[in-house]
Amino acid sequence: MSKTARVYKIEMLIRNRGHVSFQALKEELAVSDATLKRDLDYLRDQLGAPIEYDRFHNGYGFGAEYRGQKHELPGLWFSERELYSLLMAHQMLSELDSEGVISRHLAPLLERIHLLLASGEADAKALLKRIKIISPAKRPVPVQFFEMVGEALLKRRRLHLRYLTRGRATVSERDVSPQRLVHYRNTWYLDAWCHSREKILRFALDAIETATTLDAKAKEIPLKQVQAEMDGGFGIFAGEKRQWATLVFQEKAAQWVSREEWHPEQQGVWLSDGSYELKLPFVHETEIVMDILRHGNQVKAIAPASLVAEVAKALSEAAAQY
């Protein structure tokens, strides 16, 4: 029985029976005297359980001020394995972090997990050292913008943005109503209703130059509408007008691509020569071309003609540099 399970059972036995002797607890838990003493100390000193020894009853029970009241040990519905999983999840979130914003707000949770693990804390720290997450080409988001966007999203307030559109190298100012945050390929984006363009647009948080929270309430857009307009394409490019790409991967690359999800609606099939055909929707060639190019000569774009032309053009221009 894990330590978490033991302290939960001690608390449950006392709650159900009123008072439980040291010997009875030891037999129920099948532990040594020393282990039981450590568990009782941990319950009292670390978790704040109001457990006291009563000489009259020759057993452990809740103190007089707690009798008749229901006492719960917060957080003990997690097993040790689940707590270790939470630690790993925290580690992964920290790698997605924008200059420590998420980690700082999750710090109390992390401390609580370490407290619940107690004697296993050394193992917990060792576990975190053995988790490495590689995030190439990460684009950090300034802390103040990440927190401001998150607060506006939660409190349903509009934002005024000074925003750099990199593709056109232009800076514009606009009011937006935040709808949701999106994390994609190591950076954060905001899906928001743009009051200037009167449509839902996607903004890269690292391209925000200045931001101000407005008093005006955010325009509410049904989440289903946001998903329908923003999630249909490939990658970060959104739009309603979709095309279907057909790609054929040679046997070497097919071993990996056949196990990858490029898009939730993709369709894949093995061909008789050992190659793999992948069909998926997209709304703009830019990002899908980048993913095609990373497979080099192991992939060929088959359709549509516009995509084939874009891939051929990119390959030709790249080859001309050599």
Q: Is residue 74 part of a domain?
A: no
pLDDT, residue 37, reads 92
17, 42: one domain: yes
Q: Is residue 73 part of a domain?
A: no
Domain count of the fold of the chain: 4
pLDDT, residue 118, reads 56
For 75-112, b/e burial (b = at least 16 CB within 10 A) is ebebebeebbebbeebbeeeeebbeebbbeebeeebee
62, 95: one domain: no
Q: Is residue 136 part of a domain?
A: no
Of 168, 200, 230, the domain-final residue = 230
One digit per residue, the tens of pLDDT, for the chain of length 322 reads 777 778 878 887 887 788 899 999 999 889 999 999 998 988 888 777 888 888 888 999 887 666 555 555 655 455 666 666 666 666 666 666 555 556 666 666 666 666 666 555 566 666 667 666 666 667 777 778 888 898 899 899 999 999 998 878 899 999 999 999 988 887 889 999 999 999 999 999 989 999 999 999 999 999 999 988 888 777 777 666 889 999 999 999 999 999 998 988 899 999 999 999 999 999 888 889 999 999 999 999 999 999 999 999 999 999 999 9
| CATH classification of the domain holding 37 | 1.10.10.10
pLDDT, residue 62, reads 84
Of 197, 230, 263, the domain-final residue = 230
36 three-class SS: helix
Q: What is the pTM of this model?
A: 0.62
pLDDT, residue 302, reads 96
45, 91: one domain: no
pLDDT, residue 266, reads 93
Of 206, 230, 254, the domain-final residue = 230
Tokens encoding 169: 């190298």
Give which of 114, 96, 94 is closest to 104, Cα–Cα. 94
Q: Is residue 111 part of a domain?
A: yes
59, 99: one domain: no
Query: For residues 262, 277, 238 and 211, what is the CA-based torsion angle, rounded to 10 degrees?
Result: 30
Angle at 105 between CA 99 and CA 106, to 5 degrees: 105
Domain span holding position 29: 3-66
Tokens encoding 139: 């684009």
pLDDT, residue 185, reads 80
Give which of 227, 150, 161 is closest to 196, Cα–Cα. 161
194, 251: one domain: no
pLDDT, residue 82, reads 66
pLDDT, residue 201, reads 92
Q: Is residue 215 part of a domain?
A: yes
Q: Is residue 213 part of a domain?
A: yes
9, 85: one domain: no
Q: Is residue 7 part of a domain?
A: yes
Q: Is residue 57 part of a domain?
A: yes
For 6-28, b/e burial (b = at least 16 CB within 10 A) is bbbbbbebbeeeebbeeeebeeb
Residue type, 265: E
